[in-house]
Structure 1
């Protein structure tokens, strides 16, 4: 009986460590192989749940953004537009700071 408990105390943490290690390795490999710019021509830009059975999706495909509705009946293309140009983060922050800040907006609303 003592030998069984000793084996259990040794093997149980070993098995748990092997499971944890394999999950970490799978996670790292998934990030490596599923990175953006992997030669894929389709990219999911944004999703919005309208109801439990309906979603709106924005899909980027060859420089075009396509608005798609999905539901129980299937997928329907709603609109199509040229892809938006992503601004660098520095430009975005400067543009965002040009407008009134949140405290000024609240002061105007309270008046």
Structure 2
């Protein structure tokens, strides 16, 4: 019984430390693979709406255009496209 408690006291902090280290490493790796902090992104999701559990509508801004797409299990479908509205960014 004493041996079991001793192993538990040693291994539990070791496993918790390893999990914490893997999470920190993953965050650093994700930051390196992504865009640089403060860099302008060319794609931005403006709004999403769930129509059903399997269907979602999304408005995506891409290079000065707003694109309405439907997202389902089969993939994305472009439904409409319009020039981007500049005045609504501050409203959200």
TM-score normalised to structure 2 length: 0.65
Matches within 5 A, 1:79-98: 79-85=80-86, 86-87=89-90
- Unpaired stretches in structure 2, ≥5 consecutive residues: none
**Greater share of residues in helix:** 1
Match of residue 104 from structure 1: none
Match of residue 7 from structure 1: 7
Q: Which protein has greater RCO, CA pairs closer than 8 Å, 6+ apart? A: 2
State which structure, 1 or 2, has the greater radius of gyration over its C-alpha atoms. Answer: 1
**Greater share of residues in strand:** 2
- Unpaired stretches in structure 1, ≥5 consecutive residues: 93-111
Runs of 4+ in 1 over 4 A off after TM superposition: 34-40
TM-score normalised to structure 1 length: 0.57
